[in-house]
Amino acid sequence: MTSPMEQHGTYKIVRVIGSNFVCSQDSSGQEIILRGLGIGFKKSAGDLLPAARVEKIYALRDPGQCDRLMQLMQDVPSEYLDISTHIIETAERVLGRRLSENVYITLTDHISFAVERLRNGVEYPNQLLWEIKNFYPQEYALGQQALDVIESVLGLRLPEDEAGFMALHIVNAELDGRMADMVPITKLIREVVNYAQAYYGVTFDESSVDYERFVVHLKFLAQRLFQGRYAPDGDTGFQNLIARHYAADYECAQAIGQHIRETFDLNFPSSEQFFLTVHLHRLSVSMGLSTEEE
């Protein structure tokens, strides 16, 4: 069987999505989407496309996602996927990690609705904007950059609330979770931070490295809790030692665990309590409440 990408460097078009997007297949027969300026113009299924004209390949592992992206490309202007691709590739460089492939669909779709709302004069306030700015500062900065990109391409300036929404899409893609979980995840982080500050009687230094590590830990902790996936149990003897050695921090972790169970109706196993204790201890040291290093 001949590979869809021929030896002389061409792709065989399976179908044309738009003037700048076509569908092809990789060597395993999986459908892929190719992007390039004018690569679909006056083209038909079966035509060969020089690989040199391809600027981006969308090879989504999940066939269902690939179908959804192709359907989306038929429903929205191709510029929206171009904008999303620019934002996603910038985010991956800044964050130093690959994002979930699903973000190409969710972010493009969100941009489409955000632009439509703006043109129709419909406001959609972001009730979690403060939390997003404070808990996800890197992602929020990327969301602000996204507004600049959209303005430069479409000539429309989306409101600041949209920078927060796009930041949540990026965080969700980092966690590779469900977008529907992002609001409760962010609320859980807020609850834990507020509870810990009240317990220690201080306001955390949001510019400190230990606070940043704490919030990052909470992001992944919340994701695990909502997905029912927990940190593995470690050495019980070592955990007991930590509980005795960092008694105040362990007490805080226990109280937070109980608060999470009651407020969010989530399981909070002892393994998660142990790791939370370690992060709380780092914070207590950095705040001068404890001079004892780990």
Looking at the fold, whether 165 and 82 belong to one and the same domain comes out as yes
Q: How much is the pLDDT for 263?
A: 93
Q: Classify residue 124: in a domain, yes or no.
A: yes
Domain boundary among 175, 201, 233: 175
What is the tens place of the pLDDT at every residue in 144-170? 999 999 999 999 999 999 999 999 999
Single pTM value for the model: 0.75
**Cβ atoms within 10 A of the Cβ of 43, count?**
16
Q: Does pLDDT of 7 surpass 50?
A: no
Q: What is the mean pLDDT of the chain?
A: 86
Looking at the fold, whether 191 and 220 belong to one and the same domain comes out as yes
Looking at the fold, whether 127 and 200 belong to one and the same domain comes out as no
Looking at the fold, whether 46 and 114 belong to one and the same domain comes out as no
Q: Classify residue 294: in a domain, yes or no.
A: no
Residue 35, beta-bridge partner list: 21, 56
- Candidates 224, 227, 229, 221; CA nearest to 275 is 221
pLDDT band, residue 20 (cuts 50/70/90) = confident
Mean pLDDT of 36-58: 88
Contact 274, 217 (CB under 8 A): no
3-state SS, 151-187, equals HHHHCCCCCHHHHHHHHHHHHHHHHCCCHHHHHHHHH
Looking at the fold, whether 193 and 234 belong to one and the same domain comes out as yes
Q: How much is the pLDDT for 88?
A: 93
CATH number of the domain encompassing residue 49: 2.30.24.10
Q: Cα separation of 268 and 190, whole Å?
A: 17
Q: Classify residue 252: in a domain, yes or no.
A: yes
Q: How much is the pLDDT for 5?
A: 53
Cβ-defined contacts of 273-276 (< 8 Å, 24+): 274/231, 274/234, 274/239, 274/242, 274/243, 275/217, 275/221, 275/231, 276/217, 276/221
pLDDT band, residue 232 (cuts 50/70/90) = low
Residue 25, beta-bridge partner list: 31
CATH number of the domain encompassing residue 120: 1.10.1790.10
Domain boundary among 143, 175, 207: 175
Q: How much is the pLDDT for 291?
A: 59
What is the tens place of the pLDDT at every residue in 185-228? 999 999 999 999 999 999 998 888 889 889 989 998 998 899 88
Looking at the fold, whether 96 and 141 belong to one and the same domain comes out as yes
Q: Classify residue 263: in a domain, yes or no.
A: yes
Q: Classify residue 133: in a domain, yes or no.
A: yes
What is the tens place of the pLDDT at every residue in 122-143? 988 998 899 999 899 999 999 9
Q: Does pLDDT of 293 surpass 60?
A: no
Q: Classify residue 69: in a domain, yes or no.
A: no
Share of the chain above pLDDT 90, in %: 43
What is the tens place of the pLDDT at every residue in 263-291? 999 999 888 888 899 899 989 888 887 65
Q: Classify residue 49: in a domain, yes or no.
A: yes
Position with higher pLDDT, 116 vs 7: 116
Looking at the fold, whether 163 and 105 belong to one and the same domain comes out as yes
What is the tens place of the pLDDT at every residue in 241-256? 778 888 999 999 999 9
pLDDT band, residue 294 (cuts 50/70/90) = very low
Range of the domain at 123: 78-175
Q: How much is the pLDDT for 132?
A: 92
Mean pLDDT of 166-192: 90
Q: Classify residue 71: in a domain, yes or no.
A: no
What is the tens place of the pLDDT at every residue in 94-111? 999 889 888 888 899 999
Q: Cα separation of 172 and 226, whole Å?
A: 13
Contact 206, 134 (CB under 8 A): yes
Tally of structural domains, the chain: 3
pLDDT band, residue 92 (cuts 50/70/90) = very high
Looking at the fold, whether 105 and 30 belong to one and the same domain comes out as no
